Structure 1
Amino acid sequence: MQTREDIFNILRDALVELFELDPARISLDSNLYQDLEIDSIDAVDLIDHIKRQTGKKIAADEFKSVRTVNDVVEAVYRLVNSPA
């Protein structure tokens, strides 16, 4: 079982690696689209990266509702901690 903090750290590392973002810009309150300038294609890359890390895929419909880094952390937390 992963904690929310573990998921945040993995997500922050992914955002830095995939999109060359400054880690200091990434907080739980960061808006993916406005603060971090993630576009829809980047979001697909991020979903794919999460799938490779967790072995589970976030549904595109669920990802449409995320706006902040914390929203992604919560979605991944529910995904990895849900019964199979």
Structure 2
Amino acid sequence: MIHDEEIRRQVIEVIAEEFELDPVALTPEATLYDDLGLDSLDAVDMVVALEKKFGVKLANEESIRSVRTMADIFALIISLKPAGQ
């Protein structure tokens, strides 16, 4: 069973590696576009990397558009994890 804190750690690991960011900068309140300097193309890459890592589908455009901060990403991934994991 993967706990929420472990999911947060893995999300940080994936994003830090994908975009060569310092994991320390990936705080829950960090904004993707302003604080981390990501753009819309990076967002697509992020979705692909997270889908691959967690085996979930993030293709719901509405939920992806609502993601602005690292906390939003954590909440989205946690909400999509299969029951029992």
- Shorter-chain TM-score bucket reads 0.7 to 0.9
Supply the AA of the counterpart residue of 1:66.
V
CA distance in 2, matches of 1:62, 1:15: 18
TM-score using structure 2 length: 0.86
Dislocated runs of 4+, deviation >2 Å: 1-4
What CA RMSD, in Å, does the superposition of the two structures yield over aligned residues? 1.6
CA distance in 2, matches of 1:2, 1:65: 24
Q: How many residues align?
A: 83
Report 1:4-83 matches (<5 A): 4-58=4-58, 59-81=60-82
TM-score using structure 1 length: 0.87
CA distance in 2, matches of 1:3, 1:64: 25
In the TM superposition, what is the alpha-carbon distance from 1:5 to its structure 2 partner?
1.2
